[in-house]
Structure 1
Amino acid sequence: MELEIQIKTLPTQPGVYQYYDKNGTILYVGKAKNLKKRVSSYFTKNHEYGKTKVLVNKITTIKHIVVNTETDALLLENNLIKKYQPRYNVMLKDDKTYPWICIKKERFPRVFLTRNVIKDGSEYYGPYTSVRTAKALLDLIKELYLLRSCSYDLSKKNIEIEKYKVCLDFHIGNCKGACEGLQTATNYEQDIVAIRNIIKGNFKESLKLFQQLMMHYANEMEFEEAQKIKEKIELLANYQAKSTVVNPSITNVDVFSIVSDESYSYVNFFKISNGAIIQSHTTEIKKKLDETDKELLELAIIEIRQRFNSQSNEIYVPFEVDLGNSIKITVPKLGDKKRIVELSIRNAKYYRQERFKQIKIVDPDRHVNRIMAQMKKDLRLSVEPRHIECFDNSNIQGTNPVSACVVFKDGKPSKKDYRHFNIKTVEGPDDFASMEEVVFRRYKRLKDEGQNLPQLIVIDGGKGQLSASLKSLDVLGLRNKIAIIGIAKRLEEIYYPNDSVPLYLDKTSESLKIIQQLRNEAHRFSITHHRNKRSKGALVNELEHISGIGKQTVVSLLKHFKSVKRIKQATLKEIEAIIGKNRAVIIYNYFQKK
């Protein structure tokens, strides 16, 4: 049952999933474009391969890490397999799986593709999951900038003593001849700065120059060369410069983040070793008092680092924390470090969402209590809105004005308590007066019958509809007994009595989602009643307008034939059998003429 709930509440984002057995041993690591869909397939398919059946039978726990793209998932899967070497994964023998682009630390740096990262101060960018993409990027760089390909030691002394001579690359125009001093180190370094920007993805200016080069070839009628350039531009448009998951400049670091609600906090932990995420863990903390996120995160960092025996000397966090002087605390502001902290926050948020879904299944009371507490806080109410009623008016071109009242109890629709209202005292399409009438009728009846009043009334509309409703509550003496708000459709702003400044809730908040659900349900219920009323009126009116036909005859016909359409298609004898010959002739002739 627990495993089933874990699968049901998985996110649909790309990421990496990990299967564990009852002893907590990792069995398998896999990547997915859609985590929920991929993991579910293991438990719904009939597996012909014996080892897969055995694997599925051993799984007791599923963990996952959400990432931004499929490429990130591929790289992270690679790192975790190397770290844990799960029994059911294909073993990866070394770290040369993916290529990197290297800018060598030397005078007149070379730029080349490598699968071997050497810590000699050189710059490494990647890894690239596609060799084709990396080569296309290098080709682009070589088209735009003339770089040396030789491995000569181009020190200042060697150039001055003319130790080297220019090679074929210089003669065919692929190099500027730095070995003979024909290009300065400053000029070469300017090209390296531009290349570094291209590799990082900031290639707007360079791409513009490349497009100009393509047009130049086209104007010179060199269409084959122009086509080659075009293909490289298209490759670059689809290429991902580097992964946010792996960056060789970030080594031996712990990353922590926290998200909170009224009762619980969720802390995510990433362990980064040699530039790669090798561990992810999220824990739930129940608040005892009104602890701040800073206090909870400090406690969680100490506990989690002890649990996982972390020896990292640096920690990335979303805000300043106080952990003493022995650990370096970094709050990244931009770049890859910032993106890794953001990824940690995303994983904490997804964990919280999954916990909400799981709790909704296994502990619905706790789920309801949390939602109600959140709504009380978000909507600035004095009590939890356990009983909410929402009103909506409906009329089309002023005809058949109706209103609807829908009721939510504990955040869920209570359909047996829904009510329809036909507007009685208002002539024409007057939305304000209609709202005033139905609110008065609804709560006068509840008051007279001694029924329970709601804690919150939601009016579908802005200031006008809210003011009209308040008049009715004033007359009934309920103004201070029931909270009332209006929700406008345009920007989902929430209005309060005697307050001209609306409240804007977070678009993703559960409080706003329940208010929107109320409003949409009231609109649907109102429109349905209005449609039924118009349809019924149209049917009855057409039959009653036939001279010599009364209401009782109409009722008899509709009771038997069910619709006007069937009456039109009926024979004279079929109609005569229901209402007699004389009236049957009148109706039959009426529809025949039409």
Structure 2
Amino acid sequence: MNTDLNNKLKALPARPGVYQFKNDKDKVIYVGKARNLRSRVRSYFHGSATNAKTIALVKKIKDVELVVTDSEIEALVLESNLIKELKPRYNIDLKDDKSFPFIKVTSEPFPQVYSTRQVIKDGSKYFGPYTSVKSMKSSLRMINQIFKIRSCKYDINEVTIAKKKYKLCLDYHINKCDGPCEGLISEREYNEMVQEVIKLLRGKTDDLIKELETKMQKSSSGLDFEKAGEIRDKLEQLKTISSKQKIVSNDFIDRDVISVAYEDNDSACSIFNIRSGKLVGKKQLRLSLKGGEELPEIYNSIVKFYYGEHTEIPKEILFETEPIDSDLLKQWLNLRAEKKVKFVIPQRGELRSLVNMCKQNAILQLKEIQIQKMKKEGQVPCAVAALQKDLRLIKLPKIIECFDISNLQGTDSVASLVVFVDGKPKKSL
């Protein structure tokens, strides 16, 4: 340990804050937070480290830089932001949420709804991140089919409507928009529709159905049969969506289920979004571990990353084991969600089955990651290599096609084909 670093360790404050370890090139290689900076930072140099990551980290530390904060929660937020910005080598690496798309509902008088990868603090509502672009596009397509949300980028307000600045577009004439640009729908009515979109994005499909059924009855009683018919059409589509959402819980509590599968430095995370007892979304994250991390540490990183700035936070979050600093994480989530958030570690019953199901999805995702990694490195699954050896093939059977032909006494022949690529079924072929 050099003299400058030793002197810094002696002068560390017993305050909450964030510490940054730097290497001999003055590059930040690890960011951490502490309730007591003096105790936490000094603990790295007592020779008590047992896991490979910490041992390797300590060998490379040449300097430490501190940011003192007023509270541990402030330190937690700052730590998360610095990890995203600096991507230090020895912190758990999650794919940056800025690369994932969100669905944005703007804060204009007549809001737009569209996808974006750029999240800014402009008063808009952001839903996501969507780890699957296909899933995000499917959600937008569903919104456009059910609701008459404008697709134009015009700055529509009372002044532009009064001046008749904009004209009706094709969407109005094909019944895809109610014409807010010419004031054919009031700001209040349009925003009521936007609130329905928001409920759908939050997974509150059944609540929305009940509200619309009440509105339909009211319109029908008031002899506004055209309005009642429009609501009926919405209801039919929403009920179709609701019927496709799997019921996984009978208590109708909003919750997320988070599970991780890892092996060596590869790790995969699966997240189930359950709203009103129904599985309404599934997200996947890929993590790059440094070696020696335990599940509680991994879960801590996932919570800070996933529930960053713009993700809906449910009432309960289920894990197979509790994250480190769980009390602090819950305080932070409570402030962000403006409600009490519970961590639940179910041991049996319906909730344990949910955790197990989520775990199986994480395991499948991990296997996919490992196969892709092997392909990049020129490796193949053992079964494919064994097949080459047993059949005495010159080349690896990377593509295997299996045919089966059946007939009825020589007539009515039918055939089927299954394809394996790199030892894995290719169901699309």
The normalised TM-score by structure 2 is 0.37
The normalised TM-score by structure 1 is 0.28
Bigger radius of gyration = 1
Q: Which has the higher helix share?
A: 1
